[in-house]
Amino acid sequence: MKTSMIVGIALGVAVAVGAVAGFSCGDSEPSFPPGTIGVTMNEFTIKMTSTTLHAGDITFSVRNDGEMPHEFVILKTDIAADKLATNAAGGADEEQPGVDHVDEIEDVPVKGGTGTLKVTLVPGKYIGICNIDNHYQLKMYQTFTVQ
């Protein structure tokens, strides 16, 4: 009886260690092909796998892990991310002087919805924002630089 109990405990420990190791591997950041930047959105953040990019063709692989729809808008500007003029809804004014609207993905679905945005970017300073309602005012933006 003691031997079977020891074997059972050892087997249980081995299964638990294996489960933890497998879970840890599953939590690692996904890898993206060259020229692709991962973007994760949530209430109210945008995180990019890199914020220093090389000029040229870039693909943004966007995932919304949030509970509400978001969008990913790319603006080229030298204006500080928290200093953009806002519209009546609390979003950033995408047509203000000193701001170039590059492109966007509208309404990325909730809870794991994805979208892909392919753009050609020149060197400069950029901001990726969610411009739905007041999400910009809630600091849902990420600055990045293209070299």
The upper half-sphere exposure of residue 59, i.e. CA atoms within 13 Å in the direction of its Cβ, equals 9
- Structural domain containing residue 1: 1-30
Question: What pLDDT band is residue 29 in, cutting at 50, 70 and 90?
Answer: low
At residue 10, the pLDDT reads 41
The string of pLDDT tens digits covering residues 65-84 is: 999 999 999 999 999 999 99
**Whether 45 and 92 share a structural domain:** yes
**Whether 141 and 98 share a structural domain:** yes
The string of pLDDT tens digits covering residues 73-116 is: 999 999 999 999 999 888 999 999 999 999 999 999 999 999 99
**Whether 5 and 16 share a structural domain:** yes
**Whether 14 and 40 share a structural domain:** no
Between the alpha carbon of residue 93 and those of residues 12, 31, 37, 78, 142, the distances in Å are 58, 34, 25, 14, 16
